[in-house]
Amino acid sequence: MNHTPKTEIIEDIRKEIPVYPKVAIREFVANAFIHQDFAIDGMPITIEIFSNRVTITNPGAPLNDVNRLIDLPPRSRNEVLAQTMLQLGICERRGSGIDRAIAAIEEKRLPAVKFEKSEAHTRVILFPPKELKEMSKTEKFNACYQHACLLYEDRKELNNQSLRHRLGIDKNNSYTASKIISDTFNAGLIKYADPKITSKKYATYIPYYA
């Protein structure tokens, strides 16, 4: 955290606020250690800090679908390491680490976390604050999808109002939120919570896998 960027807030005293939430950094780094594949040579865990992103890379493809990391129970490659990190208080082994990290990202209204994978690695990318107009279409519907996943885990449903709050969209600009929801729906990432209610004004949504 000492190496990640800070924002300065000057009130009565000068304050430095981390751009990235500590809980998100902690959970993603802990996951990288627990889920690394020790059979892959020449690829250590790397944490790279750039002006426009933080990337955390570990050897080994994810054992779960990267679109299901929020809801599926965890699968650990290294049980002894995971148990040791539990005893050290670094992780809890409840499968809620990704949820807490994404929730912290949402609380600071940062862009959606990006998950990348190959046959040999897993990468998590965090981004600093960005205006909605600067986000790509993909970034917007990824934020919408992750928001829907978190709500569903809490037995709630995505709607226009909740997405406006997530992205900091003015309450009088419901069209923008509706457009993002529509794009996410068309991408196949969310579906109607009740297929009988399809009015944009009253419809609520859940992740595609629900």
* Helices assigned H by DSSP within the chain: 22-34, 79-87, 97-107, 137-153, 160-167, 174-186
Tokens (6 digits) for 135: 């986000």
CATH topology of domain 132-207: Arc Repressor Mutant, subunit A (1.10.10)
- Rounded to an integer, what is the distance from CA 132 to the centroid of its chain? 17
Residue 189's pLDDT is what? 97
- Rounded to an integer, what is the distance from CA 100 to the centroid of its chain? 9
Residue 82's pLDDT is what? 79
Distance CA(172)–CA(153), nearest Å, equals 28
Per-residue confidence of the chain (210 residues) as pLDDT tens digits? 999 999 887 777 788 899 999 999 999 998 899 889 999 999 999 999 999 999 999 999 998 899 999 988 777 788 888 788 778 877 665 557 899 999 999 999 999 999 999 999 999 999 999 999 999 999 999 999 999 999 999 999 999 999 999 999 999 999 999 999 999 999 999 999 999 998 888 999 999 999
Token match 């037995």: residue?
Answer: 155
Residue 9's pLDDT is what? 78
Distance CA(71)–CA(29), nearest Å, equals 19
Residue 130 near residue 166, CB atoms below 8 Å: no
Spell out the domain ranges in the chain: 6-126, 132-207
* Per-residue buried b or exposed e for 28-61, using 16+ beta carbons within 10 Å of the residue's own CB: bbbbbbbbbbeeeeeeeeebeeeeeebbbbbbbe
Give the number of other Cβ atoms within 10 Å of residue 183's Cβ.
15
Q: Say which DSSP state 190 is in.
A: E
Residue 93's pLDDT is what? 56
Token match 């802990």: residue?
Answer: 30
Residue 121 near residue 35, CB atoms below 8 Å: no
Q: At what angle do helices 160-167 and 137-153 cross, to 10 degrees?
A: 120
Residue 92's pLDDT is what? 63
Residue 8's pLDDT is what? 80
CATH number of the structural domain 6-126: 3.30.565.60
Distance CA(42)–CA(83), nearest Å, equals 25
Distance CA(199)–CA(33), nearest Å, equals 45
